[in-house]
A = this chain, B = another copy of it.
Amino acid sequence: MSAAPLRIALAGMGTVGGGTVQLLSEQAELLAARAGRPLRLVACAALARPADLPLGDVPFYTDARTMAREAEYDVLVELIGGSGGVALDVVTIALERGRHVVTANKAMIAHNGIRLAELAEKAGVSIGFEASVGGGIPIIKSLREGLAGNRVTKLMGILNGTCNYILTTMRESGRDFGDVLAEAQALGYAEADPTFDIDGIDTAHKLAILASLAFAQPVGIDSVACEGIRHVSALDINYADELGYRIKLLGVASLTDAGVETRVYPAMVPLSFPLAHVDGVFNAMVTEGDFVGRTVLEGRGAGARPTASAVVADLMDLARGRHTPTFGVPVDRLVARPAAPGGAHRSAYYIRLMVRDEPGVFADVAAALRDEHVSMEKVIQRGRAPSETVPVVMTVHETDEASMLRAVARIAALPSMAEPPRMIRIEDL
């Protein structure tokens, strides 16, 4: 192997950083054979030197900015995290020095990706961010390269392993959200502050990145409508099962006549749906392309080793001299599209009411739906408990969101409602 090594500077030595060092060390020979040249770690930076990693005598920096500025490397791998701060600084320094960048940082790409892509273009270098979405699944490579002959009109994914783990465990155990979240935190599957995951923000970052790649548009993180899973109850999961659905937190992006829709929300999906059986910490993405039709990619969405696999895939591309514009086309070819107005979105819905079991309640509910032209599909009202609070569950046929919200507002105002109605979209392709 006589070709010059690809010199790697690694910033951030947490879970993913550690996995990446392990992979580069364990598979060194394999990687060199596949890349035609060795991949060599030449510098690393973290707040403290980790004792348990095979770092050998690789120069270590406690200040990642100093490493980015002073070390000699071909590619900087940023695994610090956060949309700005040190992560953004080291990436900016590397690009301005004309060095490639590989990152797992979805927040940074979602918020600053376009600016960084411009810097990369100016310097004639690449930004790899396969690890930012879907862990080890080659989602970004598929969108940027594998489906490059297609106009993608819709994509949809389970993009957050924490939420999918919580929803899967709720279903399997029958336990409620708070209980399962606490357990996930104890097991290390959820952060101490779980907001980013469970409120859908992490999914929104990833969705904005995927929509940009798929539709060749600037990353529109601010126009992603975002709803998390805090309000999904064991009761709803149970009814979903009974109706033949699974509840999943989806990120959905589609090109419609009214503009681009990018939305994150918990949805019921039928068992025949390709995402229905993606459980636990697995992630998956469904894409609709005009030539290829539907493709589905599934795999582990997080964790040291899967994410390291994605980081190294990007490094292998650089080692082989394989380059692609950051968002599939040069920045000046990205076309901003208007966001579709929310109310026009059409979908079927599940609605759960908690009502006092009195005569005539259901007639009032049915009238509210009729008045807003919402057409009922199924009703489940089990048993009777006069004067007590009982659940009434309905599904309605596809309708526009504005009508649905008006109907639900009418229903919420009925005197027999004991709690605000719960509404979950039913998603199909």
Residues of A within 8 A of B (CB): 19, 23, 27, 30-31, 33-36, 130, 135-138, 141-142, 145-151, 216, 272, 274, 277, 284, 289-300, 303, 305-306, 308-313, 315-317, 320-325, 328-330, 333
- Which of B277, B303, B311, B333 contacts A277 (CB under 8 A)? B277
Q: List 18 A-B contacts (CB under 8 A).
A: A31-B148, A33-B333, A34-B148, A34-B328, A36-B325, A36-B330, A135-B292, A141-B142, A145-B316, A147-B313, A150-B309, A274-B277, A277-B277, A291-B305, A292-B299, A296-B296, A322-B322, A322-B324
Number of copies: 2
How far, in whole Å, are A297 and B311 apart by their CA atoms in the complex? 20
Q: Which residues from B are CB-within-8-Å of A295?
A: 136-138, 297-300
How far, in whole Å, are A23 and B293 apart by their CA atoms in the complex? 13
Given contacts A138-B145, A272-B277, contact A291 B313 (CB under 8 A): no
Q: Is the CB of A320 within 8 A of B323?
A: yes
- Which of B141, B296, B303 contacts A298 (CB under 8 A)? B296
Nearest neighbor of A329 in chain B, beta-carbon distance = B33
How far, in whole Å, are A130 and B284 apart by their CA atoms in the complex? 22
Nearest neighbor of A295 in chain B, beta-carbon distance = B299
How far, in whole Å, are A23 and B313 apart by their CA atoms in the complex? 29
Q: Is the CB of B292 within 8 A of A309?
A: yes
Question: Min CB distance, A74 to chain B, in Å?
Answer: 17
How far, in whole Å, are A293 and B136 apart by their CA atoms in the complex? 8
Q: Is the CB of A146 within 8 A of B151?
A: no
Given contacts A138-B146, A277-B272, contact A324 B313 (CB under 8 A): no
